[in-house]
Structure 1
């Protein structure tokens, strides 16, 4: 809970889209241990919710996420055990997002730095307000953004990732879109319209198909080419046996809207 009695992560669901909102704007939505644990719990719950087809990750206030809570980190300077637990917990949350059987869209308004930038990079899709900014500035304070580097380097090219990591400089939303950190940078006035328009488009698809596709996407990324094709050939053959694939093909040929059974 926050100091105001509000939950650290707010949850709202409507029409197949669940929004998880980081809700500690007075601390710049920093990823404290408590925030990470709260987010992890919500991700675990939403993973099993049949009614949720898409997750939107948002934030309250004018900062998306400022990374780890440096006040908390300073208080625990003497505890290597705490530092390791903190970074392990953060890594767990990022992997939960990647492994979640539903697409996750980051709604980015304001600044996303360090582990906050990592959070954006870990989501499947990201839409940013054109006023948003991004950085991995750990190098500026003597703490290289090594864990954010994992997600960043899997989303943008090697040289773009290294430029952000080595300089620690802020980049604009337009530049983030240019290098592939986010999908789109849009006027702040249409941020929600764009995010939830995309979420509804994705949520209209078969949940079973989305789960299959997302899992295969991340598995094949790390494979040699031949192994990737072997995996995805099997995935497609298995997918073809699903009710929704057969329904979708029949609906397309019959020129009607498919009726998904999510199986």
Structure 2
């Protein structure tokens, strides 16, 4: 049976593939449920140090399933309850990404539109192929991308986000890198290897330290300056008290590889 979100483990790196190419990997109800289940399992899997998220077929993700959304209007309330539930479930899945202990890298090709662009913005890192297009283009059909806006406006400058949201215009991979939506742009044929190289670099680091740092990174971003320093200092204390951190520091002093458990 074909799974909507396929999981392949390559050593300590987990590869998740959105596997609905016929719908450009739209975030249908079933796709959101499958992603949630995968993230819940990965959050408990200490054997995985890095997660790569990609899409099967011609695109990364085209956003919500519009046909499914239209069908949701059939309720007596015209779809209000269904839409409220849909956007709540989607927001929950997006928030699971920064909450995961492992760094999540989006491997992006084709298009990443609306909630698909939100998915890229929600990932910790992103590598995209030349020719990839990004957009929060719901305004073109009368639906302002308010929930994608939350993730987008936190990773790109406000005026860039607002222009994308109000014009519905797409940006290419080069512009996406320029404004901070993605980290790297590579030739299409090098996308998989470039993402793998980045994932392997992260996987070589002390996993416990990266997990502590990732959580602290997002927590402090929501704080004022003084509170952020206080929080980050407390996290560094916890990090320094790890056995493997003590070993890593000593190994550096002694100019040898660390003996991490």
After TM superposition, is the score higher than 0.5? yes
Partner of 2:2: 6
Measured after TM superposition, the shift of residue 222 of structure 1 is 1.0
Partner of 2:134: 134
Partner of 2:41: 45
Partner of 1:57: 53
**C-alpha separation in 2, matches of 1:147 and 1:256:** 48
Deviations 1:212-253 (A, max 9, x none): 000000000011111101111111112110112101101111
Secondary structure at the residue paired with 1:64?
coil
Gaps of 5+ in 2: none
Q: Does 1:187 align with 2:183?
A: no
TM norm structure 1: 0.96
**C-alpha separation in 2, matches of 1:154 and 1:206:** 27
After TM superposition, list the pairs within 5 Å mapping 1:85-234 onto structure 2.
85-234=85-234
**C-alpha separation in 2, matches of 1:152 and 1:79:** 26
Measured after TM superposition, the shift of residue 80 of structure 1 is 1.2
Secondary structure at the residue paired with 1:185?
strand
Structure 1 stretches (4+) deviating beyond 6 angstroms? none
Measured after TM superposition, the shift of residue 166 of structure 1 is 0.8
**C-alpha separation in 2, matches of 1:96 and 1:258:** 32
Secondary structure at the residue paired with 2:53?
strand
Gaps of 5+ in 1: none
Worse-superposed segment, 165-174 or 77-86:
77-86
**C-alpha separation in 1, matches of 2:208 and 2:171:** 37
Match among 29, 35, 38 for residue 33 of structure 1: 29
Deviations 1:63-109 (A, max 9, x none): 11000000000111222111111111110010000100110000001
Partner of 1:82: 82
Partner of 1:250: 250
Secondary structure at the residue paired with 2:60?
strand
**C-alpha separation in 1, matches of 2:194 and 2:45:** 24
**C-alpha separation in 1, matches of 2:259 and 2:138:** 49
Secondary structure at the residue paired with 1:19?
strand
TM norm structure 2: 0.97
